[in-house]
Amino acid sequence: MKVIKVKNYEEASQKAFEIFRDQVKEKPDSILGLATGSTPIRMYELLAEDHKVNGTSYKNVHTFNLDEYYGLAPTHPQSYYYFMTEHLFKFLDIDLNNVNVPKGNQDIQAECDRYNTMLAENQIDLQLLGIGSNGHIGFNEPGTPFDSVTHYIELDESTRKDNARLFFDGVLEDVPTHAVTMGIKNIMEAKRVVLIACGDNKATAIKGLVEDEPTTSLPASILSTHPDFTLIIDEGAASKLDK
């Protein structure tokens, strides 16, 4: 595991942006694994700016998003498909046919199977992750087996509260109770993984990831065994580390 410690969210976003931009420049037909949530927003702005100013092209890039809320159509303003369009895709020259986000409003098992088949045929070159305050990656909540593939999952109360604070205008009842998420095995199959964690509320999860043995009670902890894992943390997220 490579740890990049930076001062704040802006610096963390810069570092992650550079890794993703370089990936696309070096391999224009890269397969990127993408994430939603508040963390990647600034990094996506930087990618959009770089595309506009320097012309980095996404014409041949394919993307796979980690997860989607169950029950929300892609056109729903709180869906993750909509999030990706608004924060990134509409600013790039990416072909929307090359963009993959699990569909939360379809026959759920058929959709999980479809996503798993696509992932099996398309190894992700570079996977972006955030981390939940409870240590989840994607929507793999504590207790999810490390060998899980794309599946339907009930969201933890803490996750729904975290997401209500940032999205859904603060209304907990509006946050879906279930989601579809890539499994931990799918995430671990990416060639390279980059996780960004910022803020004090991530410090306990980051301490567990960096200092403890992998345990399913902290899903992100398995990443310490990934052969090419980069952790980008700001001072808040690093504040509970012993070393």
Residue 58 or 135 having the CB closest to ligand PGA:
135
CB atoms within 10 A of CB 41: 15
Q: Interface with ligand PGA includes 39 (CB under 6 A)?
A: yes
Q: Which of 4, 5, 15, 38 binds ligand PGA (CB under 6 A)?
A: 38
- Only segment of 15-23, 107-115, 129-137, 145-153 that touches ligand PGA (CB under 6 A): 129-137
Q: Interface with ligand PGA includes 23 (CB under 6 A)?
A: no
Using CB atoms within 10 A of its CB, is residue 39 exposed (0-12), middle (13-18) or buried (19+)? buried
Q: Interface with ligand PGA includes 37 (CB under 6 A)?
A: yes
Q: Which of 65, 134, 140, 186 is catalytic?
A: 134
User: 């995430």: which residue's tokens?
Assistant: 187
User: 């930076």: which residue's tokens?
Assistant: 6
Minimum CB distance to ligand PGA, residue 39 (Å): 3
Active site residue 141: yes
**Site size with ligand PGA, rule: CB under 6 A:** 7
Q: Which of residues 155-174 bind ligand PGA (CB under 6 A)?
A: 166
Q: Which of 50, 111, 141, 234 is catalytic?
A: 141
Active site residue 136: yes
Q: Which of 62, 65, 67, 162 is catalytic?
A: 67
Q: Which of residues 82-101 bind ligand PGA (CB under 6 A)?
A: none
Q: Which residues are catalytic?
A: 67, 134, 136, 141
Interface positions with ligand PGA (CB under 6 A):
37-39, 130-132, 166
